[in-house]
């Protein structure tokens, strides 16, 4: 491996679930050697949740290595299983950190204290360490030990309150969005900034990313609108303050669509010209002059009727046909894609080779998310599939920590290693 921007950087990944491991995987994709420290006694729950790989007879595989959820977010890492509840386990953990450039965790401060992983303790072992902490609500404060995941963060940061239809309760965004995008992205940014500082000064530092505060930055103008105008933004469904029609419209069912055969297309008209173009493209030019819809103000005042009318036009058409017809008329439109579309049907993603197929010893050939960004001179690469639980325990102990085979055997017998 040559030419990757983080080559020569070693990351001690003491995180679990989503935000921490996904950030660490980004570092691995761009050349860092990432040592994922895991526990056989308290396995990362992502290793035991669906989707699981299938056996030839259609039944689900079982075990700690067949979760597509875990594997997709841990490609290219090394895995060592270590009992951090023991003194010897903590000593080995400290040795890994001593040999590393970056330490990453998203455990709560209570666990950090229990395992003696505070920044002051790590800096005493390795003054050059970049120690990134991403607990849900920060390292200090009255709620510092609260547990949290993406499904918790979306309501407590206000995202759920603004998600859904105005006549219904808040529903959130349908996925643990903060875990996949916001928090790992911010964590990586902080780590890279700290690495730049270390390159200039030779000194490491602590990077603290309270996930609560990280996610709050995605509220856009909601807080500013309340501050300036006293307005609390709430649920508007798919509607837009000024664009109309603006929403997702049901199209003809697709019997080849896996799971659910319903299909949808998103349409947005930003001005009267696009509205007239939409009417003409769908063979309804006469409706453009309807007094209820002729201007943006009129369409906003009659939005229920407008959406019902547009919905009737597209209900018996294929979503792809509607998209192509409207795009040809310069009207913003796109199929509301599902996972099948993204992986198998989206010709653009196929042409760009976004999904990477890797051979895993237990799940076989599987699709992994590709690098989120492409550097022209130093492109990222998924070098290996996700590791089996503890697959690299011996390698890490011997090659990185310099332990003898006998030492490793003794620690395995004691249950410190697994």
The residues that are catalytic are 179
313 closest CA partner among 267, 270, 251: 251
Tokens describing residue 334: 């796109």
Distance of alpha carbon 19 from alpha carbon 36, whole angstroms: 14
> Residues 6 or more apart from 82 whose CB is under 8 A from it?
37, 38, 39, 89, 92, 93, 393, 416, 417, 418
């Amino acid at each position: 491996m040559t030419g990757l921007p983080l080559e020569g950087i070693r990351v001690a990944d003491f995180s679990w679930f989503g935000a921490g491991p996904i950030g660490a995987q980004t570092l691995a994709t761009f050349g860092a050697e990432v040592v994922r420290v895991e526990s056989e006694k308290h396995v990362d729950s992502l290793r035991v949740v669906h989707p699981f790989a299938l056996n030839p007879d259609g039944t689900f595989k079982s075990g700690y290595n067949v979760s597509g959820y875990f594997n997709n977010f841990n490609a290219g890492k090394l895995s060592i299983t270590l009992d951090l509840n023991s003194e010897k386990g903590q000593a080995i953990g400290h040795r890994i950190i001593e040999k590393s450039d970056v330490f990453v965790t998203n455990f709560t401060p209570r666990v950090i204290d229990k395992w003696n992983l505070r920044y002051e303790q790590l800096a005493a072992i390795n003054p050059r360490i970049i120690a990134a902490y991403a607990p849900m609500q920060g390292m200090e404060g009255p709620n510092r030990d609260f547990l949290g995941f993406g499904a918790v963060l979306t309501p407590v940061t206000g995202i759920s309150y603004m998600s859904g239809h105005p006549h219904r309760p808040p529903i959130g965004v349908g996925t643990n969005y903060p875990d996949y995008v916001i928090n790992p992205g911010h964590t990586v940014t902080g780590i890279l900034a700290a690495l730049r500082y270390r390159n200039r000064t030779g000194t490491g530092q602590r990077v603290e990313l309270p996930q609560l505060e990280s996610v709050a930055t995605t509220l856009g103008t909601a807080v500013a609108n309340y501050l300036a105008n006293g307005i609390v933004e709430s649920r508007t469904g798919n509607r837009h303050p000024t664009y109309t029609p603006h929403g997702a419209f049901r199209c003809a069912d697709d019997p080849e669509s896996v799971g659910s055969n319903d299909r949808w297309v998103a349409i947005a008209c930003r001005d009267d010209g696009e509205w007239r173009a939409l009417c003409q493209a769908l063979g309804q030019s006469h409706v453009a002059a309807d007094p209820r819809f002729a201007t943006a103000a009129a369409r906003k005042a009659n939005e229920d009727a407008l959406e019902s009318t547009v919905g009737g036009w597209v209900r018996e058409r294929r979503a792809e046909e509607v998209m192509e017809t409207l795009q040809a008329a310069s009207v913003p439109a796109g199929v509301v894609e599902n996972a099948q579309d993204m992986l198998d049907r989206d010709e653009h993603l196929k042409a760009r080779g976004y999904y990477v197929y890797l051979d895993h010893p237990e799940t076989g050939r599987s699709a992994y998310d590709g690098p989120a960004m492409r550097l022209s001179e130093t492109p990222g690469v998924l070098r290996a599939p996700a590791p089996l639980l503890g697959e690299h325990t011996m390698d890490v102990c011997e090659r990185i920590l310099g332990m003898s085979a006998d030492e490793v055997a003794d620690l395995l017998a004691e249950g410190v290693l697994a």
